[in-house]
Amino acid sequence: MSDSTATLSGTANPNGQTTTAYFEYGTSASYGTKTAAKNIGSGRSASTVSIPVSGLAAGTTYHFRIVASNATGTSAGSDQTFATTGPPAVRTGSATGTTPTGSTLTGSIDSRGHSTSWYFEYGPTTSYGLRTSTRSQSSSSGARSVSETIAGLTAGTSYHFRLVAKNSSGTSFGGDGGFTTTGPAITLVASTTTVVHRGAVTLSGKVSSGRENETVTVYAQPFGLGSFAAVATVLTRAGGSWTLIVRPAIATTYKSVWNGNTTSTISVSVRPAVSIRSLPRLRFATHITAERRLVGRTVQLQRRLPDGRWRTIARAHLNRGSSAVFRPALRRGRWTLRVAISINQAGNGYLAGFSRAITIRKR
């Protein structure tokens, strides 16, 4: 057997009369083609008949039967089949064991009588662009299962793949298959999770489709409120990424929604904004900015020690304008000072707050 030739064999018994035999063959049991007749004599026992045929199609299953005739009549043998060798028969299977970054691709190959090499192509489109290592398979006929594990994929992303096999008769391609890596359909990260009152926080993420102009809605739940409310709608850029700058006034939790998919939440803690300003006669003013007034709350004037720690040297209470003035008793020398408000004094929804440090010298 080869890609285009075969030798057909059968037996016929002349039963004592001069007999001729030939083969009918074709791609179905209707045959359609026959060989030239061959004289097999007039014996009284079964005689083996072999006739070569050519011009066959590679990798094709054929039907054939022997037909014998003599003066008494014509008899036909039972239907038989054979397959020519040829390019491998390939079937792309499914993707199994898919994770956020990998998957196992499967398929099957019939080598059709030739030593065969194979690999998988894969990528985010039907242009593929990536391929696995080349493997080998023996020339034995019959479909055999193959598989290959791939890695380095992007979470929540759709991929295409197909099986490719090649032997001396040609290259065959399996059909296109697809899978989507596991992972969030949309992600959400924050540039920082702690910020000063009304400071900028960049929220960003990516949608699994990887497409631009997709609509992402961002929701916020400020401290003390019982539910989320939409604060902005943004469109994705190329690759499916998106960003939004927010300026929380109090501790706030955020989430984003795309195509019915919701991210996990991210909480941003907030510190009150604390200022310090030097006044004449070694006095120091402070102002606290928060979402609510902090009238009567205690603030501290602190000195930095040589070992880097801070020690409180004066206290004051905030007035109706959330301001206060310190009048510390300072000795001569160089002083590095800041103003602090503790987490207890800042109140629910805030962390402790600190001003910038200033350095003064008392002569």
**Structure token digits, residue 206:** 């990516």
Q: Are 242 and 271 in contact (CB under 8 A)?
A: no
Q: What is the pLDDT of residues 36-52, one digit of tens each?
A: 999 999 999 999 999 99
Q: Indicate if the pLDDT at residue 155 is higher than 80.
A: no
Express each pLDDT in 296-323 by its tens digit: 999 999 999 999 999 999 999 999 999 9
pLDDT of residue 182: 85
Q: What per-residue confidence (pLDDT) applies to 319?
A: 97
| Shared fold status for 89-180 and 273-362 | yes
In sequence order, which residues have a C-beta less than 8 Å from that of residue 324 and are 6 or more positions away?
Answer: 285, 286, 299, 316, 317, 318
Give the pLDDT band (50/70/90) at residue 142.
confident
**What is the mean pLDDT of the segment spanning 328-343?**
96
- Residue 122 near residue 174, CB atoms below 8 Å: no
User: Which residues, other chains included, contact 306 with Cβ-Cβ below 8 Å and sequence gap of 6+?
Assistant: none
In CATH, the number for domain 273-362 is 2.60.40.10
Q: How far apart are CA 214 and CA 337, in angstroms?
A: 50
Whole-angstrom Cα Rg for the chain:
42
Average pLDDT, the chain: 95
- CA distance linking residue 251 with residue 352, whole number of Å: 12
Q: CB count, 10 Å around CB of 96?
A: 12
Q: Are 98 and 89 in contact (CB under 8 A)?
A: no
Q: What is the 3-state secondary structure (H, E, C) of 154-171?
A: CCCCEEEEEEEEEECCEE
Model confidence pLDDT, tens digit, residues 70-104: 999 999 999 999 988 889 999 999 999 998 889 99
Contact present, 51 and 38 (Cβ < 8 Å): yes
Give the phi and the psi of residue 239 in degrees, each rounded to 5.
90, -5
The pLDDT value recorded for residue 98 is 92
* Position 210 pLDDT exceeds 90: no
State how beta strands 194-196 and 266-271 pair: parallel
Domain borders along the chain are: 6-83, 89-180, 189-270, 273-362
Q: Is the pTM of this model over 0.85?
A: no
- List of residues 6+ apart from 73 with CB closer than 8 A: none
Tell me the C-alpha distance between 188 and 182, whole Å.
16
Q: Cite the DSSP H helix spans in 46-122.
A: none
Q: What is the pLDDT of residue 140?
A: 84
CATH topology of domain 189-270: Immunoglobulin-like (2.60.40)
Res. 216: pLDDT tops 80: yes
Residue 245 confidence (pLDDT) above 90: yes
pLDDT tens for 217-243 read 999 999 999 999 999 999 999 989 999
Tell me the two tokens of residue 308: 């880097």
What is d(CA 62, CA 59) in angstroms, rounded to the nearest whole number?
10
* N-term to C-term CA, the chain: 109
Q: What is the C-alpha to C-alpha distance for residues 357 and 99, in angstroms, rounded to an integer?
A: 50
What band does 143 get if pLDDT is binned at 50, 70 and 90?
A: very high
Contact criterion met (CB below 8 Å) for 146 and 137:
yes
Instruction: Report the SS3 class of residue 66.
Output: strand
Query: In Å, how far from its chain's centre is CA 292?
Result: 45
Is the pLDDT at 281 greater than 70? The verdict is: yes
Q: With pLDDT > 90 as the criterion, what percentage of the chain qualifies?
A: 87
- Residues 320-335 have pLDDT tens digits of 999 999 999 999 999 9
CATH architecture of 89-180: Sandwich (2.60)
Q: pLDDT grade, residue 153 (50/70/90)?
A: confident
Give CA–CA dist 297/304, Å, rounded: 22
- Mean pLDDT in residue range 105-124: 96
What pLDDT is attached to residue 1? 61
Tell which CATH classification among 2.30.170, 2.60.40, 1.20.1270, 3.10.28 matches the domain 6-83.
2.60.40
